[in-house]
Chains A and B, each alone.
Chain A
């Protein structure tokens, strides 16, 4: 079942998005699966985690479940270490555990650039545990494929142009 989030990442790649995929699992039930949707939505905050969080919120709403209880028992599986923004979002929702593939050297919020998952932030939910290295090579390979396709000499905005 946990291979699914790698399939999500591959789907992102096929759609010209940064290849990151994730699953949100609540008591052995998949409530959310997301991949990056930044280019499609023109919203740079639409990372896989944020997309999956929305699905869990929707599920809670439809089932009339208490979202606080649900998130407190939900594990996030994601191909790449959550970025600083997503790490803060996961804290705000009190998610207890994140299992990720490779580290996120550019934006990582669970130790790579900042340690949002563990820092003392009284007004930003609760700290969470992280387990890194789950099929890390596969995650790195996907990212490499993506960044290889981007021309490093072109302005970023041009490189991101969707054709």
Chain B
């Protein structure tokens, strides 16, 4: 029986770097609700209230909730938002000027979630206030709980980061910033490019990520710089694919409106960094993070943070809605080893 070599324990943990809206606290709005005394009136009340006080900007709010613990009235209904009425202390008569609120009890104030929850933990908090709809992204839940990658995947991730560290060490000896990077094709687990920082050479903009992006270009028959001087900056030429298959690269954490999930092979060759993963020892700067947007990378794993970092520290360029491509980012992979590299 063939058994894959797997490490059972890891000294590191990866955390997804999610958008601020996924990580923020649940925002609440003040509202009026009332018990439904006569259950038979429920559908009639919903119709009436939808007409009188439509909750147009809150499609995620469930108008009626169950209250199992209160035996005298099993249901409660949202009447309106506090901001919908001028006078904030009100009775049923004020709320229903035409006086048709059959089956409702005395109104009371509640706080309801202002937005649809985006993560399970937001959903759990929101639900304590008032029921909402929630479309769970299982990948995000798993990522936040640290269950997204299995042992085998983690072992692979560690191998790739080790390669990046190895390159960084070589670069450091040559007087460069101790940063290394590796670009991998996750469909085949092949390393496409390995590079280290070269900023103290002829071109100060050749950060490790920029080096790797150019090496990927070389692997596809392009490229702009001469990397021959640096033996630890190298690439593996890709072979033409026979057909126009799209590489199966799984579902991304962030919904992207671009075409990174299909058609990533052009003229029998992969198109720039589409579908590829980057492993880099330190959080990319703004230039490098945006270069990865232009290059349509699929995922980025980095170890340590950088004070001007653009993938979590200063900015989250990978989640910026205005941009035409987004990628998933995870931090913390082999953090201690890379921290050591920088010291």
Contacts and interface: CB of A to CB of B under 8 A. Distances in A.
A127 to B, nearest CB: 13
Given A41-B222, A44-B272, A156 B258 contact: yes
Contact of A157 (B213, B263, B291): B263
B307 A107 contact: no
Contacts, number: 121
Chain B contact residues, majority secondary structure? loop
A97 interface: no
Interface in A54-106: 54, 57, 61, 67, 83-89, 92-93, 106
Contacts of A43: 213-214, 216-217, 222-224, 272, 295
Interface residues of A, number: 41
Interface stretch (A4-12, A115-123, A136-144): A115-123
B204 A93 contact: yes
Interface string B148-160: 0000000000000
B245 interface: no
A86 B287 CA distance: 7
Given A43-B217, A109-B290, A156-B258, A121 B314 contact: yes
A41 B217 contact: yes
A20 interface: no
28 contacts: A38-B294, A42-B217, A43-B223, A43-B272, A44-B272, A44-B273, A44-B291, A44-B294, A45-B295, A54-B224, A61-B202, A84-B317, A85-B287, A86-B287, A89-B205, A92-B287, A106-B324, A107-B290, A107-B323, A113-B322, A114-B317, A155-B259, A156-B258, A157-B266, A157-B274, A158-B266, A160-B266, A161-B267
Interface string B238-265: 0000000000000000000011001111
A156 B203 CA distance: 31
Contacts of B264: 157
Interface of A: 37-38, 40-46, 50, 53-54, 57, 61, 67, 83-89, 92-93, 106-107, 109, 113-114, 116, 119, 121-124, 155-158, 160-161
Contact of B224 (A37, A85, A122): A37
Contact of A92 (B205, B266, B306, B314): B205
Greatest chain A CB density within 10 A among B204, B287, B307 is at B287
A41 B274 contact: no
B272 to A, nearest CB: 5
Interface string B322-339: 111000000000000000
Interface of B: 202-205, 210, 213-214, 216-217, 220-224, 258-259, 262-267, 271-274, 285-287, 290-291, 293-296, 306-308, 314-315, 317, 320, 322-324
A121 B307 CA distance: 8
B266 A113 contact: no
A21 B290 CA distance: 20
Greatest chain B CB density within 10 A among A42, A87, A161 is at A42
B308 A92 contact: no
B205 A155 contact: no
Given A43-B213, A107-B323, A155-B259, 8 more contacts: A41-B217, A44-B213, A54-B203, A106-B324, A109-B286, A114-B320, A116-B286, A124-B286
A124 B308 contact: yes
B290 A85 contact: yes
